[in-house]
Structure 1
Amino acid sequence: MKAITSIQNAYIKQLVQLKEKSRERKKSGLFLIEGIREIELAIKGGYVLDTVLFYPGLFSENELEALTTSQDSTIEISKDVYEKLAYRSTTEGVLAVAKPKSHLISDLKFDTQTPLILIAEAPEKPGNIGAILRTADAANADAVIIANPKGDLYNPNIIRSSVGCVFTNTIATGSTTEIIEFLKAHNINIYCAALQASVDYHTQDFTKATALVVGTEATGLSDEWRVNSTQNIIIPMQGEIDSMNVSVAAGILIFEAKRQRNFK
């Protein structure tokens, strides 16, 4: 088995770039995954692992054998190398280099005639994206769509904050125009969380093919969403502010849809 002990190793320097730079992830077609649960979810989600790296002081060869197959490339790394690559101080001594999937909206398909989709337009904070993905996983949504994405899905902060749900959700990306065209072509009702021309969210029927669309807290949704919606909806506020965290709003809306569908 190959071993790397120096943080000056050229391959390790490349992996540091994968961790830190979206441009390098896109250029190389690779990204880093950290932690046992996250790697297991990536494997479950059908992701292809290029290499698995482990620090034997935290992760044993027996654990490695349980996680990988005989065909997987594995590298033993030193403590210094592991600490250079690790994003968190509490992970279990194992990382993987993986290949991303395509997330084109044109490739999105459903196994049901009444899909439940969660859409976020231009979310900027990785923590919010991760929380949205966790919410979608908890609700067993049929898909999450990111409109006008500001970064790539394989940012370590998104992987961490989603606790690996970025690998198990069906995710698509595209421009707002492309996504609206896709939804209309598939006869999917569009419910936009917006203040303008809106009704209380719980008055709508979410049992049919449904897309729930949320925007950023700062600017909300673009006009293109609002004018193309089946109905704009609002979560009534009873305090002093007129909005809430986007991931919280997404959770309220999607679980109302699940309630109407009797959590099927």
Structure 2
Amino acid sequence: MKLITSPQNPLIKQLVQLQEKAKARRQSGTFLIEGQREVMLAKKGGYILETVLFLPEMLSENEVRHLAGRNAGLIEINKEVYQKLAYRDTTEGIIAIARSKSLELADLQLRENPLILVAEAPEKPGNIGALLRTADAANLDAVIIANPRSDMYNPNIVRSSVGCLFTNNIATGSTDEVIAFLKDCNISIYCATLQDSTPYHTRDYTTPTALVVGTEATGLSDTWRETSTKNIIIPMHGEIDSMNVSVAAAILIFEAKRQRGF
């Protein structure tokens, strides 16, 4: 088995670029996954794990094979190399090189009566991760990011989603592309916005539904508000008129799940 002990190794330098540069991830079609649970969920979600680097003092070869499968190449590394690559403070001893998936709307597979979350231009990877965790908890049919400002394989998204990047059905596209896709699929569009809205719990989400949320700073663009089936609002009883986007999305999602009986 190959062993790498120098942070100056050419492969390690390439992997540092994958961690730090979206361009490197796009050009190579690969990204890094750190952590045992994340690697396991990526494999379960159908991601191809090309190579797995691991600390032998923390994980045996058999344990790594169990997590990553038989087809991944294995490389032993030492602590110095691991610390060069690790993105988290906690150490789990495993980092995988995975192949990116297509996130095109055309590749999205939906069930007959889907419930979808759409987030327009979320700015913070942590918020995207929280949205993905909520979507996983609710077993949504898809999460669509409109006008993405960060590539979905950003290590902060991988980390903050706690592996839910790999358990959700995800697509990205421009706002116009996403709206066209939803209309072509005859999916009702419910936009969370302050303007011309009715309380969220008064709407019916038992038919094919997309729940659309925007950023905390600016909300949704006019295009969404003007083309929605209905605009909805979460009544606020305090001094402010907005809440964290992942919290707002969770309220809407679980109301829709309640109406659907599960």
Please give the range of the TM-score, normalised by the shorter of the 2 chains: over 0.9
2:182 alignment partner in structure 1: 183
Letter in 1 for 2:86: A
Instruction: Give the 3-state SS of the residue equivalent to 1:83 in structure 2.
Output: helix
Residue aligning to 1:149: 148
Higher mean Cα deviation, 85-94 or 29-38? 85-94
Q: Which amino acid aligns with 1:185?
A: D
Q: Normalized against structure 1, the TM-score is what?
A: 0.97
User: How many Å separate the matches in 1 of 2:153 and 2:179?
Assistant: 25
Give the secondary structure class of the aligned counterpart of 2:74: strand
Q: How many residues end up aligned between the 2 structures? A: 262
Taking the aligned partners of 2:108 and 2:61, their CA distance within structure 1 comes to: 39
DSSP-derived class of the 1:58 partner? coil
TM-aligned CA deviation for residue 16 of structure 1: 0.5
Correspondence 1:235 to 2:234: yes
State the SS of the aligned residue for 2:232: strand
Alignment of structure 1 residues 1-264 onto 2, 5 Å: 1-112=1-112, 114-263=113-262
Segment drifting more, 249-258 vs 52-61: 52-61
Question: How far apart, CA to CA, are the structure 2 residues paired with 1:185 and 1:262?
Answer: 26
C-alpha contact 2:43 2:68 (8 A) present in aligned 1: no
Provide the C-alpha distance between the structure 2 equivalents of 1:66 and 1:229, rounded to a whole number of angstroms: 46
How many percent identity over aligned positions? 70
Q: Which moved more, 1:205-214 or 1:70-79?
A: 70-79
Deviation at 1:47, TM superposition (A): 0.3
Q: CA deviation at 1:23?
A: 1.1
Q: What is the Cα deviation at residue 21 of structure 1?
A: 1.0
Q: How far did 1:68 drift?
A: 3.3
State the distance in 2 between where 1:68 and 1:260 align.
38
* Conservation of the 8 A alpha-carbon contact between 1:35 and 1:95: yes
Which residue identity does 2:43 align to in structure 1? I
Contact 2:39/2:68 (8 A) holds in 1: no
- Whether the 8 Å contact between 2:49 and 2:68 is mirrored in structure 1 is no
Between the aligned partners of 1:70 and 1:254, the Cα distance in structure 2 is 38
* Unmatched segments (≥5 aa) in structure 1: none
8 A Cα contact 1:31 1:100, kept in partner: yes
CA-to-aligned-CA distance 1:49-94 (integer Å, 9 cap, x gap): 1100001122222312322334321000011000100111213100
Provide the C-alpha distance between the structure 1 equivalents of 2:49 and 2:119, rounded to a whole number of angstroms.
28
Secondary structure at the residue paired with 1:165? coil
What's the TM-score, normalizing by structure 2? 0.98
Higher mean C-alpha displacement, 62-71 vs 165-174: 62-71
Is the CA contact 1:57–1:79 (under 8 Å) kept in the aligned structure 2?
no
Secondary structure class of the residue paired with 1:120: strand
Cα RMSD of the aligned pairs, angstroms, is 0.8
